[in-house]
Amino acid sequence: MRTIMRKPCFQAPCLAIRHGIGVPDLFVSKHEPVLASNGNPADVPTVAVAKVSTEDLSHGLVLTAEFKPFQEVDVMAKVAGFIKQINVDVGDRVTQGQLLATLEIPEMADDLRRADAAVVRAKAEVTRAQDEQRRAESVHNIARLSFQRLSTVADKKPGLVP
């Protein structure tokens, strides 16, 4: 019969010191030695054996895939026109109120030019009306002054002014 002794683990001294066990106590076996018998080779079970080696625990794998969005939203403009500029790309995260695209609407540009021309005309009319008001105030002031002079003359010399 053969005697097989157990080998001590190298991590045991660290654990033993943490738990308050003396290091020499770890290496003293408290069990009886294990004895192997020289029996029939057919009775011996077959076991798988693998060589231990050090390797990385993580493995990388590159796959070609297409992501499907969590939420897909159709965006539509309130008016018809041409896209002048796009500010986001497919797959970008967007927030509420963010400008996604700029539309160019030729009809609206014409309407804007007509509205600007109407504003310019209205400002010119306001200026003309203000000039007319100043002229009317000047005429009024001249008439008032003339009346006051004639009134003063009529009071000083009655019958001179009809």
Lowest mean pLDDT among 31-40, 108-117, 138-147: 31-40
Distance CA 143, CA 135 (A): 12
Question: Tell me: the pLDDT tens digits for 11-36?
Answer: 444 444 444 554 455 455 566 666 66
Distance CA 18, CA 65 (A): 50
Distance CA 71, CA 94 (A): 12
Mean pLDDT of the chain: 79
For residue 99, what are the contacts with CB-CB under 8 A and spacing of at least 6?
87
- In the structure, what pLDDT confidence band is assigned to residue 158 with cuts at 50, 70 and 90? confident
Structure tokens at 145: 């002054």
Task: Give the C-alpha distances (Å, rounded to integers) separating 98 from 73, 86, 93.
Answer: 15, 12, 10
Question: Tell me: the pLDDT tens digits for 31-74?
Answer: 666 666 666 666 777 888 888 888 888 888 888 888 787 888 88
In the predicted model, is pLDDT for residue 134 greater than 90? yes
Q: Kindly report the number of other CB atoms within 10 A of residue 103's CB atom.
A: 14
**Per-position DSSP letters for 33-94, written without gaps between them:** PEEE----GGGSPP----------S---------PPPS-------SS--EEEEE---TT---
pLDDT of 12: 47
Total-model pTM: 0.38
- By the 8 A CB rule, do 79 and 105 touch? yes
Distance CA 100, CA 85 (A): 9
